[in-house]
Amino acid sequence: MTNGSRRRFGVLIATACLLSANFGICQSSNTALPARGAPVVSWDKDDLLISGDLWSPQDSNEKPMVFQTAIRCRKKLGLCALSNNKNGRVTAYFLLITAWTPQQVTIRGEIPRDTCEKNEYVIDLFRSSVLQIFSPGTQAHSSGCRQAVVFPGGGWPGNPRKVIYELSKSPMVQ
């Protein structure tokens, strides 16, 4: 491991520790009481916690994605940690906060992958809704991207296009 990668790894570990501190529901938080099937969205002025397990596509041609998702954001750090658990395989990512208003939070991947795809999350705090938006990047029409990009719900058959999923709680979990 080079010195640069050691430093980056150390920063990622420190950030993960800061984000995971007090991972329970935020003190003095607002929890949007979810309707049946809605994800859990809890927040206060500097913290946001989201939990759900079913990503439903708005386009009926796409497949739903079923896996546990948790997102924890710290406004002061401008950073979120996202984890997915699918059949015991856990993946984790850092996301950057691009906007935080009293009504909505918008986040995107740590490193903009605008060559092939863009991935953004839009959280409506009062509706308790979470959208995941996949959209084509600047090079999406290249042959390399068309072969490499496979969205979790099944990819881009045909021309690259925007695909939107909404997070919810599976009825079997409630």
Per-range mean pLDDT, top range of 9-13, 141-145, 166-170: 166-170
Residue 99: other Cβ atoms inside 10 A: 10
pLDDT at 112: 52
In the chain, the amino acid numbered 165 is Y
pLDDT at 22: 40
Q: What is the pTM of this model?
A: 0.73
Quote the longest CA-to-CA distance of the chain. 50
pLDDT digits (tens, 9 = 90+) for 149-172: 555 544 555 577 788 999 998 765
Give the span between the Cα atoms of 140 and 76, in whole angstroms: 33
Residue 96: CA count within 13 A, CB half-sphere: 9
Whether residue 133 has pLDDT greater than 80: yes
Tokens of 56: 């439903």
Residue whose C-alpha is closest to residue 157's, from 166, 149, 165: 149
Q: Average pLDDT for residues 120-146, to the nearest whole number?
A: 85
pLDDT > 70 in the chain, percent: 65
Note the helical H segments in the chain.
Answer: 3-20, 143-148
Confidence of residue 14 (pLDDT cuts 50, 70, 90): very low
